[in-house]
Amino acid sequence: METPSRPVPALQQTYAAAVPELSVPWRAEAPPRPQLAWLNDDLARELGYEPAFLRSDEGIALLTGQFEEPATTAQAYAGHQFGSANPQLGDGRAVLLGDLVDTAGVRRDLHLKGAGRTPFARGGDGKAPLGPMLREAVVGEWMHALQVPSTRALAVLTTGEQIAPRQGVTPEPGALLVRVAASHLRVGTFQYAAWHLDAPVQRALLAYTTDRHHPEAATPLELLEAVARGQAELVAQWMLIGFIHGVMNTDNMALSGEGIDYGPCAVLDEHRRGAVFSSIDRGGRYAYGNQPGIAQWNLSRFAETLLPLMDEEDPNRAVERATGVLEHFEGWYLEAYGRGLAQKLGIPLEVGDTERLAAVLELGGELFGMLEEQRVDHTGFFRALEEGEAAMLPAGSEAFAGWSERWEVLRGPGAPAGVNPLYVPRNAHLDAALRAAHLGDLDPVHELLEAVRAPFTRREGLEHLEGAGDAGEGFLTFCGT
């Protein structure tokens, strides 16, 4: 085995040490024949790991949770799932390998998904199929390349076993995802503490969360504002890139402001506010156009957990203060959305220029109405603007001609540059790549990863990934649980 040229970063369990009531020591099941399907060399180096070490037997043992110290843990949390409260969820098929300080001095979690049944498994087998684990890797790398805050995959490994099918009747190849996150603290973590644990534990959780993610927040109210501002920025970016998370339950809202848990997610082809691709979102709760409102709803649930910590003597005053913060969410979201839209359209926008921001938002509202009416591709339209291709809407569209004139006036001599991706994890292409991986061919996934990790630059040989492909009218995504 090759000896690493620098010390292996030391893992810790700072969360379990600070708030032991919210974790249980638990060890991942040993996979029978683990093999790397993909290793994120760049991320490994960010964390302080030599890629060669992670490919060694000792590195594979680390990535699969087969080490003694520190003891790995499964985290407890609760949450609202599709609007209904579930008092106990937790890491049913995952363990926290630990946290470490990366080469930039930032503390980050290493989390192992598909690690087998834990005390929170709720009857499941704790396994994960290869396809959904690779989806998390592809989507996380795409988000990172677009500078959208996101968890990322350090590695995806096959386990050498066939597991019970999550869809259909054919057994699926088992897999493990090693995920890197700012942390795995969620709205659902605070809900579990509020519903099950006493005030000292809630205060310990508050202190740990504040210290780790929002040290500028001196009070619970300021923490609520910091989390709300972060979510406004995140969801605005999702909307601009045409991303549909698919399952925005409160246990899937990270307090760090990162996107997390890319299960039945998808991207827009044709622009549609009502687009739903998740097989489990039968009522359309988490449709593309609903995401900002759902984020605010989730934040309201977070605020409820903080009320006793805000003002123990006067609950009504705590409600008033929290409501005051939540009422600002729409404004924070629209400011972030308008700023990002101006960049996508090549319109200069100074901070604090509310009049010009309003003009951008009005222009955007008209544009997206036309894109939906004319069934125009979301990603393709913005890329065409950047490349100077005018004919994205049907020839002779008077509405678009009028819109284009107003756009020209607002943008002046500028033009969008390097902000509108060419390559996105299109539903048809990602689905085809995951199906190939299921059958043992990982090349299409590696090719798609290559494309989305540098999404702005056209490359020879990747032409087939530029367009939407044919995902079919009834295309659905599955979460893999």
For residue range 340-382, list pLDDT tens digits in order. Answer: 999 999 999 999 999 999 999 999 999 999 999 999 999 999 9
- Say what the pLDDT of residue 356 is: 95
Residue with tokens 């210290």: 211
- Residue environment code for 17-36, b if the CB has 16+ CB neighbours within 10 A, otherwise e: ebbebbbbebbbbebeebeb
* Average pLDDT, integer, range 244-264: 97
Spatial CA neighbour of 95 closest among 176, 198, 1, 4: 176
CA 234 – CA 252 distance, rounded (Å) = 13
Residue 276: pLDDT band with limits 50, 70, 90: very high
- The proportion of the chain whose per-residue pLDDT surpasses 70, expressed as a percent, equals 96
114: left (phi over 0), alpha (psi -120 to 50) or beta: left
* Average pLDDT, integer, range 253-276: 96
The bridge status of strand 243-244 relative to strand 172-181 is unpaired
| 11-20, 165-174, 243-252, 446-455: least confidently modelled range | 165-174
- Say what the pLDDT of residue 332 is: 98
CA distances from 199 to 21, 88, 194, 195, 264 (A): 12, 19, 8, 11, 36
- Say what the pLDDT of residue 5 is: 59
Angle ∠(122,126,128) on CA atoms, nearest 5: 135
Spatial CA neighbour of 208 closest among 256, 170, 250: 256
Residue 165: pLDDT band with limits 50, 70, 90: confident
- pLDDT at residue 417 is higher than 50: yes
pTM metric for this prediction: 0.95
- The DSSP 8-state label assigned to residue 77 in this structure reads -
CA 11 – CA 121 distance, rounded (Å) = 25
Identity of the residue numbered 215: P
Q: Would you kindly state where each structural domain of the chain is located, as residue ranges?
A: 14-184
- Say what the pLDDT of residue 224 is: 98
Q: Give the residue numbers marked as catalytic.
A: 251
| 52-66, 219-233, 298-312, 463-477: least confidently modelled range | 463-477
* Average pLDDT, integer, range 205-220: 97
pLDDT in tens, 112-156: 999 999 999 888 899 999 999 999 999 999 999 999 999 999 999
* Average pLDDT, integer, range 270-284: 93
- Say what the pLDDT of residue 1 is: 42
Structural contact between residues 304 and 194, judged by C-beta atoms closer than 8 angstroms? yes
| H or E segment and range at residue 59 | helix 57-63
- Say what the pLDDT of residue 396 is: 61
472: left (phi over 0), alpha (psi -120 to 50) or beta: left
- pLDDT at residue 2 is higher than 50: no
- Say what the pLDDT of residue 394 is: 58
Q: At what angle do helices 443-452 and 427-438 cross, to 10 degrees?
A: 150
CA 303 – CA 187 distance, rounded (Å) = 9
The SS3 assignment for 414 reads coil
Cβ neighbours around 56 below 10 Å, total: 16
- The DSSP 8-state label assigned to residue 394 in this structure reads P
- Say what the pLDDT of residue 312 is: 80
Residue 69: pLDDT band with limits 50, 70, 90: confident
pLDDT in tens, 429-442: 999 999 999 999 99
- Say what the pLDDT of residue 481 is: 64
Structural contact between residues 209 and 255, judged by C-beta atoms closer than 8 angstroms? yes
| Average per-residue pLDDT for the chain | 93
pLDDT in tens, 218-240: 999 999 999 999 999 999 999 99
Structural contact between residues 451 and 421, judged by C-beta atoms closer than 8 angstroms? no
Residue 398: pLDDT band with limits 50, 70, 90: confident
* Average pLDDT, integer, range 272-296: 95
Highest mean pLDDT among 165-179, 299-313, 405-419: 299-313
* Average pLDDT, integer, range 39-62: 97
Joined together, the tokens standing for residue 187 give 């709205």
pLDDT in tens, 311-322: 888 889 999 999
Joined together, the tokens standing for residue 285 give 């709760």
The more confident residue out of 74 and 167 is: 74
- Say what the pLDDT of residue 393 is: 63
- pLDDT at residue 395 is higher than 60: no
